[in-house]
Chain A
Amino acid sequence: MRFLKAWRDSDAFNLVLVVPAVGYLLAFSAFPLIYNVVMSFQQVDMFDVGTLIRPLRGFGNYVDVFARSEAGTVLWNTVLFVVMSIVFQLSIGFALALFFQLDFPGAKWLRGLFLAGWVMPALVVGAIWRWIFAGDFGVLNYALRSLHLIGGPVFWTSDPSIALWSIIIANVWLGIPFNMILLSVGLAGIPDDVYEAAALDGAGMIERFRSITLPLMAPTLGAVISLGVIFTLQQFDLVAALTQGGPAGASNIAQYWSWQMSFETYEISDGAVVATLMMTVVAAVALIYVRAIRHEQRA
């Protein structure tokens, strides 16, 4: 009883609340993370999945993975996927954020509608886009042909040179709302009088954007870009729905490749190698992000 009473008033209460959550995260998130690194140095396949002690392979798995013929394509595709997704998400998102900053009836509400893309399950979004992309009867080809932008049908998901772009387009669609909303918050944080002062100083629209908006948005842009990279590196469902990395690996990206090795060909240690490398990248970006928001708080 005494103990119970003391507990209700003391810092022990804090521990009782925090420890389960942190313990859970350590068990189901931090532990798998470490276990993954361990497996990347072991030989793990179908047969010794169940055992704990497995033959050690050192960096052998890493060498194997880079020696694979598809490694180069996957690496290049991943870079292209991330960079292009970010470039378009960010520029379209920024443009929309600036536009919805204008004063007109329903601006807030219409802007909010864009978040519908964000709450949709990515796999469903992938399925819809696959139908939009369809070669012969797809609505996108129809639209582009009506506008005389293309001559014959484009086989978005099955043409090896374009397949990756179909994933990028769908991913940009998914990423626009988040970029736009976060950038809107950043824009709203710039006080009006700064613009008014600049206008009095004789700065035009473009000059104001260049000398006020951009520099003041720098921390937000930093945070949004790092978040964008993080989300893009998490993107799996779109690949599964649109191309499954095909045709013949032409649109494969690292996170999907890792999963394929683990769950389709059961080369689990190779899957773990790719996962380990990718997580290092993600962690590095996360560090930049954390620093960016720290900076933002100080500002």
Chain B
Amino acid sequence: MYQIELDHLCKAYGRVQVLNDITINVETGSFVALVGPSGCGKSTLLRSIAGLDKITSGTIRIGGEVVNDRPPRERDIAMVFQSYALYPHMSVERNMTYSLRLRHRPKAEIRECLEATAQTLGLAGLLGRMPRDLSGGQRQRVAMGRAIVRKPRVFLFDEPLSNLDAALRVQMRSEIRRLHKRLEATSVYVTHDQIEAMTMADTVVVLRSGSVEQIGAPRDLYCHPANRFVAGFIGSPAMNFLKAKVTADGLSAALELADGQTLTLPEPQRPGRPIWLGLRPEHMEIGDETRQQHLQARVESVESTGSMSFIETKVAAVPLVVTQSGMPRVQEGMTVTIGINTNDIYAFDMENEVAL
């Protein structure tokens, strides 16, 4: 098992810079998720590690060796593609053993690896089938099997679950997680679904238009986002942002649009500084007078799933989403008090959006 080190990696298509000075260290045996909005360069980064795309500058090391100029087959990686990319003209068995056969492994060993993998993934009954005769979930499993059968140094996943239905996705999520625990292979996992990233990974890398925004454990990203982008990207529903100005005493922030309401900041700031206030929907509670601070808001709409309710409110004219468990007794048009604790208030610089 190996470590992956990306050092000042850049990639451009002609004049378009797709990856910008990316430096990431993937520890041996860890599970790293790459997240970011569509088109931010996640796939490109993964494909650069695999050797499918050539990088413009920087170095890629796998297990300490520079592999920049190595073709994919000499990098000892396995990759699971979004479309699964099962060879349509080969049976499940031949799909799974293709890489071993290419390496001219002895027949008995191939047999053994195949059986062990089929056992693990519950594919034993499907080995003779052709990919077109499999369901989506089964195909996904075969794609996984094809990757793990040869025990590579590194696993790469490019949105492997995005073609599955919701229930299957949850199931596969924990299954991949379990597999990773057992195999302890270094894994890089691309997804645009932040819930997948948060639940599966040891480390999450947030990318935005080709640059790393923040690297950290899922909990860190949630509790200590480095900037407004990460704060807004991690967490669902997304964090609310309100324009504000730090008051003269430097301790609280006046909400710019509101009728002079203020919230106290956890840390003192330079008086008069324009900032974004960040409030997570799940950190607020309607009608909770016991919390340290309060805001007055008007309820605009209530959506309830039964266990959870999403309440859209307006503070003056600024929208603010609050989630509540269960079905609270609020109605459109009501004016409510929203309680929040001081430690749950985030502040970001208005200019460069860095967390304060």
On A, residues with C-beta under 8 Å from B are 9-10
CB nearest to A8 among chain B residues: B71
Chain B contacts with A in 51-74, Cβ cutoff 8 A: 71, 73
B309 to chain A: closest CB distance in Å?
A: 37
CB nearest to B73 among chain A residues: A9
Instruction: A9 to B72: give the CA distance in the assembly, Å.
Output: 9
Instruction: A10 to B54: give the CA distance in the assembly, Å.
Output: 11
Residues on A with C-beta less than 8 A from B71 are 9-10
Residues on B with C-beta less than 8 A from A9 are 71, 73
A4 to chain B: closest CB distance in Å?
A: 13
Interface size on B, as a range, is: under 10
B127 to chain A: closest CB distance in Å?
A: 31
On B, residues with C-beta under 8 Å from A are 71, 73
Listed from nearest, the 3 A-B pairs whose CB atoms lie closest are: A9-B71, A9-B73, A10-B71
CB nearest to A10 among chain B residues: B71
> Can you sample 3 A-B contacts with CB below 8 Å?
A9-B71, A9-B73, A10-B71
Instruction: A9 to B73: give the CA distance in the assembly, Å.
Output: 9
B213 to chain A: closest CB distance in Å?
A: 34
Instruction: A9 to B71: give the CA distance in the assembly, Å.
Output: 6
A156 to chain B: closest CB distance in Å?
A: 54
CB nearest to A11 among chain B residues: B54
Residues on B with C-beta less than 8 A from A10 are 71
Residues on A with C-beta less than 8 A from B73 are 9
Instruction: A10 to B70: give the CA distance in the assembly, Å.
Output: 10
A278 to chain B: closest CB distance in Å?
A: 39
Instruction: A10 to B73: give the CA distance in the assembly, Å.
Output: 12
Instruction: A9 to B54: give the CA distance in the assembly, Å.
Output: 12
B103 to chain A: closest CB distance in Å?
A: 15
B56 to chain A: closest CB distance in Å?
A: 15
Instruction: A27 to B240: give the CA distance in the assembly, Å.
Output: 67
A224 to chain B: closest CB distance in Å?
A: 33
A194 to chain B: closest CB distance in Å?
A: 29
Instruction: A10 to B71: give the CA distance in the assembly, Å.
Output: 8
B50 to chain A: closest CB distance in Å?
A: 13
CB nearest to B51 among chain A residues: A9
A296 to chain B: closest CB distance in Å?
A: 25
Instruction: A9 to B67: give the CA distance in the assembly, Å.
Output: 14
Instruction: A269 to B73: give the CA distance in the assembly, Å.
Output: 58
Instruction: A9 to B74: give the CA distance in the assembly, Å.
Output: 10
B74 to chain A: closest CB distance in Å?
A: 8
A2 to chain B: closest CB distance in Å?
A: 13
B48 to chain A: closest CB distance in Å?
A: 16
